[in-house]
């Protein structure tokens, strides 16, 4: 086998729409073997809690992205060849911390990905990053009622629980303390008596018993 052979499945960028009419936003990526699998894993990873009405996935190989600095250093990116047709455009506009990084802002007709990137730069000169991909590369969830019900509706009933919801402070704690079964610090490694439960390679070598 080739050294350094990549055993990962292809990476797919995931775009999520929170509500009808809202822009699709890049929320992260998943590895998956094929388009249908990519959508299913995207739903599991990104839509268990937050609300969504639609997901798109796009294979990494079909995305072309660039920052202004990158285009300055490598202007030939604007000549990247590919199929002519409709291209979607996404922008990163701010350095503010955010759960999402790129919003899709619209589509344009282009001779190829490089041309799409060139047009995106002309239309949105202030962006921090441009992203383009052909319409033909988009894998979409269906928008029929059955899909909306089974893929997206359950998340609306699931709420985040604050940490204290899982608190174990109660009258049994006193009992645990008296019985010596009370963990001393939550980040302490597990011990039985004075002995660590797990030994680590960086621990001192144990004394050899003779």
Residue 138: name the closest of 24, 57, 68 by CA.
57
Q: Which stretch binds another protein (CB under 8 A): 79-87, 100-108, 117-125, 143-151?
A: 143-151
How many residues sit close enough to another protein to count as binding (CB under 8 A)? 30
In angstroms, the Cα distances linking 63 to 36, 43, 178 are 18, 20, 61
Neighbours of 88 (CB within 10 A): 23
Residue from the set 150, 177, 183, 196 that interacts with another protein by CB under 8 A:
150
State which residue, 14 or 66, has the beta carbon closest to another protein.
14
Q: Is 191 in the site for another protein (CB under 8 A)?
A: no
What is the Cβ-side half-sphere exposure of residue 146, based on CA atoms within 13 angstroms? Answer: 1
CB nearer to another protein: give 146 or 201.
146
Site string for another protein, 8-27 (x = CB under 8 A): -x------------------
Write each residue from 24 to 63 as x if it is in contact with another protein (CB under 8 A), else as -, in one continuous string. ------xxxxx-xx--xx-xxx--x---------------
Is there binding between residue 170 and another protein (CB under 8 A)?
yes
CB atoms within 10 A of CB 100: 15
Kindly tell me which residue out of 70, 109, 143, 149 binds another protein, with binding defined by CB under 8 A.
Answer: 149
Smallest distance from the beta carbon of 45 to another protein, in angstroms? 5
Q: How many helices (H) and strands (E) does the chain have?
A: 6, 10
Residue 17 Cβ vs another protein, minimum distance, rounded to whole Å: 18
Task: Work out how close the CB of 208 gets to another protein at its nearest, in angstroms, rounded to a whole number.
Answer: 33
Q: CB 119: neighbour CB atoms within 10 A? A: 19
| Strand 139-140 relative to strand 191-192, pairing | unpaired
Select 43 or 88, whichever has its Cβ closest to another protein: 43
For 39-153, where are the E strands, in sequence order? 54-59, 64-66, 85-92, 102-110, 129-134, 139-140
- Closest distance between another protein and the C-beta of residue 140, in Å? 15
Q: Which phi and psi (to 5°) does residue 26 adopt?
A: -75, 120
What residues pair up with 13 in beta bridges, in sequence order? 29, 58
Binding site for another protein (CB under 8 A): 9, 30-34, 36-37, 40-41, 43-45, 48, 146, 149-151, 153-154, 157, 166-172, 175-176
């Amino acid at each position: 086998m080739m050294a350094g052979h990549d055993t990962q499945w292809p990476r797919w960028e995931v775009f999520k729409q929170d509500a009808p009419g809202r822009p699709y936003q890049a929320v992260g990526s998943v590895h998956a073997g094929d388009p249908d699998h990519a959508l299913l894993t995207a739903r599991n990873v990104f839509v268990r809690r937050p609300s969504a009405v639609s997901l798109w996935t796009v294979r990494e190989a079909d995305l072309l992205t660039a920052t202004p600095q990158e285009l300055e250093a490598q202007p030939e990116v604007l000549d990247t060849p590919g199929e002519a047709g409709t291209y979607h455009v996404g922008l990163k506009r701010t350095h503010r911390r955010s759960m999402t990084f790129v919003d899709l802002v619209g589509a344009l007709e282009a001779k190829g990905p490089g041309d799409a990137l060139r047009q995106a730069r002309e239309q949105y000169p202030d962006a921090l990053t441009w992203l383009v991909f052909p319409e033909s590369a988009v894998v979409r969830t269906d928008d029929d009622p059955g899909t909306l019900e089974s893929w997206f509706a359950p998340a609306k009933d699931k709420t985040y629980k604050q940490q204290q919801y899982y608190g174990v402070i109660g009258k049994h704690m006193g009992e645990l303390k008296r019985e010596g079964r009370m963990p001393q610090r939550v980040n302490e490694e597990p011990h039985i008596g004075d002995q660590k439960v797990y030994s680590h390679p960086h621990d001192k070598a144990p004394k050899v018993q003779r």
